[in-house]
């Protein structure tokens, strides 16, 4: 079996890239943040990777995989979900069994157009959508895969829970392509130096979450 594992950010993929190194049949693609970036990157890869530089982990894998997983961080909307818990959504019973065996939990996902940064925003999304989890790329990747008849599943890890605010509104710190504008970030920190501690804690939490996700993916994707 060949699998394409998609992530929005290089920070999300780093632990999995280490364990996937040298494994055949696995391709890794960093698609960028948001639906538009995710759709374009996935289409480009499946068309032959003409405009997907340095994101592919193992170029010996076929351009048309047997399975696509859309992975990475997600915000908790269900207050029962804890930091580092891996959640999934799939219609494939065999994959479902593997994910359950690896400790992942089934969940309902909502694909948003912006980062949910506050507890109030998460509560509103929970009430309006009934979703357990929010992220920003999976709907676009699933749509591309449906067009091509490729099985696709979402496998994400909780990086911030329903009851916590993010230290900054990262939506206001993004470039037009939704990547982080470090100039804006440094200016925001300069204006609010008290946020440094919370940002360092967030980095620790996301690093932990990425390791938890990698452990589950390794059990699911490697024979």
Rounded distance between C-alpha atoms, residue 187 and residue 96, angstroms: 44
Q: What is the pLDDT along the chain (223 residues), one digit of tens a residue?
A: 699 999 999 999 999 999 998 888 899 999 999 999 999 999 999 988 534 433 444 444 445 899 999 999 999 999 999 999 999 999 999 999 999 999 999 999 999 999 999 999 999 999 999 999 999 999 999 999 999 999 999 999 999 999 999 999 999 999 999 998 899 999 999 999 999 999 999 999 999 999 999 999 999 998 6
List alpha helices for 164-195, DSSP H: 182-191
**133-135 vs 86-89, strand pairing mode:** unpaired
CA of 37: how far to CAs of 81, 99, 100, 128, in Å? Answer: 28, 27, 30, 26
pTM: 0.90
């Amino acid at each position: 079996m060949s699998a394409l594992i998609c992530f929005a950010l290089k920070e999300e993929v780093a632990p999995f890239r280490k364990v996937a190194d040298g494994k055949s049949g696995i391709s890794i693609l960093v698609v960028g943040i948001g639906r538009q970036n995710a759709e374009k990157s996935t289409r480009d890869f499946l068309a032959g990777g003409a405009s997907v530089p340095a994101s592919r982990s193992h170029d010996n894998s076929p351009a048309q995989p047997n399975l696509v997983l859309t992975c990475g961080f997600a915000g908790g909307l269900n207050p029962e979900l804890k930091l580092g818990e891996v959640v999934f959504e799939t219609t494939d019973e065999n994959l479902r069994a593997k994910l359950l065996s690896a400790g992942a939990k089934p969940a309902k996902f909502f694909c948003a157009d912006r980062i949910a940064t506050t507890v109030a925003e998460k509560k509103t999304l929970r009430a309006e959508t009934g979703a357990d989890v929010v992220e920003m790329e999976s709907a676009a990747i699933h749509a591309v895969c449906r067009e091509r008849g490729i099985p696709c599943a979402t496998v994400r890890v909780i990086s911030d829970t329903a009851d916590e605010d993010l230290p900054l509104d990262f939506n206001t710190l993004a470039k037009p392509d939704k990547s982080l504008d470090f100039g804006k970030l440094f200016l925001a920190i300069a204006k609010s130096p008290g946020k440094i501690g919370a940002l360092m804690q967030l980095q620790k939490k996301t690093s932990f979450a990425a390791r938890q996700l990698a452990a589950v993916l390794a059990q699911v994707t490697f024979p």
